[in-house]
Chains A and B, each alone.
Chain A
Amino acid sequence: MGRAVAIVILITAIVAIGWVAFSSDDVETAADTPTPTPEAEPAASAEPAPTPAPFPEPENYGPRMDLVNIDGWLQTDATSIDDFDGQVLLVEMWTFGCHNCKARIPYNQSYYEEFGDENFEILGVHAPEFSYEAEVPAIEAALERLGVPWPQALDTDKKNFRAWQPGTTNFWPRTYVIDQNGDIRYDHIGEGKYEELRETIRYLIENPPPPTAET
């Protein structure tokens, strides 16, 4: 590596660090205040807005798994994921110390507000990364602080966190939507795709799948 190249890399890296450091506050602020409008808004125009294409039927990824060896349930009387059967259920694998999990919370709050009176529920599966995230009082304090009112299943040893995610690589956060028949209709790793998630929930509430023999 020549000296000139090294200097260019050095300057580029320092500028990139500075740019990210100064813009990250804006990113966090934006994440805290989700807009209920679609992520990509059309430009203002005098012409009437085109009718949006109907949201396609969400893919069916097959039946959900069970939640096993749960260490406790918070903010609910439920004792099993089966207690949520028949509802559109957003299942979020998360932990309160995870930045990206926290960034999703304002969006989940907006879904809770928008669809809470309908046949919809959110279930957090709290899978701690570090030991301090496994303490129940710490989890309860975090739920209060973060404004999370929906039920929580405590997956302290991460059995379900691992079992629900294919392969040996698992991620925080991971979001699923389960339909009224118990089938997974949405599976997303990480932040983003908030409008797609909203439309998936809306679609499933408005277009419940025909009941199967089991349901």
Chain B
Amino acid sequence: MGTFAEGIESIRLACSLVLLIPALGIVLFGRRRRVLVPTWIATMTLVAWLRFVGWWELEPSGFLHVLAGIVLLGLAIAAWQRDDTATDVATTALAATIAAWTWVPCVGRHLGEILNAARAEPWRQLPPTVAFMVGLSIPLVVLAALDVAAPQLGERLDHRFVRIGGLAIVAVVGGLVSVTLFDDLAGELARRSSF
């Protein structure tokens, strides 16, 4: 429970902005939040866990990272044009992969326990990693649940301009990653915010 709570607390940390900015885009562009939010959480958790345990050793820079940014930009444009579940899911999965790949966490007590043990006992640290990431994604969970629990409210979020706004955020993230400036955007937002 403490790990889940620490995930929720981490929402307000500047270090989490690289995860939260693309997440905001996903949750806004997705009419299909009940599919996209679990996709986001599962992908982000998997990539973060692979990094924690040392099985994902790709540097969050260089050719592959730039290429991922370009593909994300292309997928965001395709998602706007096609408006189908498959493209939305692919865009979400890639955005979550890039976000978790780029993320350098600020580590509290519970995430620290995960990280200090991750390389020695990778599988045992998967459940607490899931708990932390679900906590960190709790606003997305609320919006996805709201879609199902109160469809009328969910529909209000599905306005065309909201979808355009969400896709624009994802496209900007892809564009900035492709020119290696995504960190700078997050930094500027952190400086201007009241963290």
| CB <8 Å contact, B145 and A167 | no
Q: Kindly list chain B residues whose C-beta atoms are within 8 Å of the C-beta of A5.
A: 148
Chain B binding surface SS class = helix
Instruction: State how many angstroms separate the Cβ of A101 from the closest Cβ of chain B.
Output: 7
A111 close to B (CB within 8 Å)? no
Q: Which among A10, A132, A168 is the interface contact of B58 at CB below 8 angstroms?
A: A168
Q: Kindly list chain B residues whose C-beta atoms are within 8 Å of the C-beta of A27.
A: 9
Question: Knowing A7-B149, A20-B5 touch, does A168 contact B59 (C-beta < 8 A)?
Answer: yes
Complex-state Cα separation, A27 to B188, whole angstroms? 27
Q: Kindly list chain B residues whose C-beta atoms are within 8 Å of the C-beta of A145.
A: none
Complex-state Cα separation, A131 to B187, whole angstroms? 7
| CB <8 Å contact, A172 and B106 | yes
Per-residue CB contact flags for chain A residues 121-138 toward chain B (1 = under 8 Å, else 0) read 000000001111000000
| CB <8 Å contact, B106 and A168 | no
| CB <8 Å contact, A129 and B104 | yes
Total number of A residues with any Cβ neighbor in B under 8 Å: 41
| CB proximity to A under 8 Å, residues B17-38 | 34
Q: Residues of B with Cβ closer than 8 Å to A?
A: 4-5, 8-9, 13-15, 34, 51-52, 54, 56-60, 104-109, 111-113, 115-116, 135, 138, 141-142, 145-149, 183-184, 186-188, 190-191, 195
| CB <8 Å contact, A7 and B8 | no
Instruction: State how many angstroms separate the Cβ of A124 from the closest Cβ of chain B.
Output: 16
23 of the cross-chain contacts (CB-CB < 8 Å) are A6-B145, A9-B141, A10-B146, A16-B5, A98-B14, A100-B13, A129-B104, A132-B187, A168-B56, A168-B58, A168-B59, A169-B51, A171-B107, A172-B15, A172-B106, A172-B107, A173-B106, A173-B107, A188-B116, A189-B107, A191-B108, A192-B109, A193-B112
Complex-state Cα separation, A83 to B107, whole angstroms? 30
Complex-state Cα separation, A103 to B106, whole angstroms? 11
